[in-house]
Amino acid sequence: MFKKVLGWLASGSEVFSKPIVLLNTSPRATYVQALLTEIVTIMTGRIVSEASITISLLGRNLDAPETVADPEILAALQAAIATFVKAIQQI
- Report pLDDT digits (tens) over 5-49: 778 777 778 788 999 999 999 988 888 889 889 988 988 889 999
CA dihedral 36, 39, 40, 41 (to 10 degrees): 120
The pLDDT assigned to 11 comes to: 79
The full set of domain ranges for the chain reads 2-89
Taking the complete model, does pTM exceed 0.85, yes or no?
no
Q: Which one is predicted more confidently, 64 or 30?
A: 64
What would the pLDDT profile of 65-83 be if each residue is shown by its tens digit? 999 999 999 999 999 999 9
What would the pLDDT profile of 29-39 be if each residue is shown by its tens digit? 888 889 889 98
The pLDDT assigned to 29 comes to: 84
The pLDDT assigned to 1 comes to: 66
Q: Alpha helix (H) ranges present in 1-91?
A: 2-10, 30-42, 64-69, 71-89
- For residue 7, the number of C-alpha atoms closer than 13 Å in the C-beta half-sphere is 4
Q: Would you call 3 helix, strand, or coil by DSSP?
A: helix
